[in-house]
Amino acid sequence: MAFLYALPPAACLGGAMAAALGMHDVLLPMGLGAAAWTLMAASFVPLLRHHGVRARLAPLLPLAGILYTTMTLSSAWRHVRGRGGAWKGRTYGEDSPTPPSP
């Protein structure tokens, strides 16, 4: 997930910072990062429009991907520790009773 979401912006922004500092041979990684980030954002625009969200937020997709990854890892860590899922102050795991049905 980090490779998918974080690498393009990191390559683009890191290359831009390196170029600003006078480093050479940074145009290729910066260009590839910018191209990947642009394609990622462009592919996200139809979903944003479907949900009535402004298309200008599409470049923020990497932040959403990183947040989703962080939440997934947090959930996995809680599961490994035996805490299970929690909802409204109640914890549901293997040792806890089955949650009431609505």
CA dihedral for 68, 46, 54, 29, sign (positive or negative): positive
Q: What is the pLDDT of residue 3?
A: 83
Domain span holding position 18: 2-85
How many domains does the chain contain in total? 1
- Whether residue 35 lies inside any domain: the answer is yes
- Whether residue 41 lies inside any domain: the answer is yes
Q: Are 70 and 80 in contact (CB under 8 A)?
A: no
- Whether residue 15 lies inside any domain: the answer is yes
- Whether residue 7 lies inside any domain: the answer is yes
**What's the token pair of residue 30?**
């910066």
- Whether residue 10 lies inside any domain: the answer is yes
- Whether residue 60 lies inside any domain: the answer is yes
Express each pLDDT in 42-95 by its tens digit.
999 999 999 999 999 999 999 999 999 998 898 888 888 877 666 666 666 555
- Whether residue 100 lies inside any domain: the answer is no
Q: What is the pTM of this model?
A: 0.70
Express each pLDDT in 11-54 by its tens digit.
999 999 998 998 888 889 899 999 999 999 999 999 999 999 99
60-18-64 Cα angle (round to 5): 15
63-12-28 Cα angle (round to 5): 150
- Whether residue 94 lies inside any domain: the answer is no
Q: What is the pLDDT of residue 76?
A: 87
Question: What are the distances in angstroms from CA 76 to CA 1, 36, 71, 73, 80?
Answer: 15, 29, 9, 5, 6
- Secondary element (H or E) of residue 42: helix 27-50
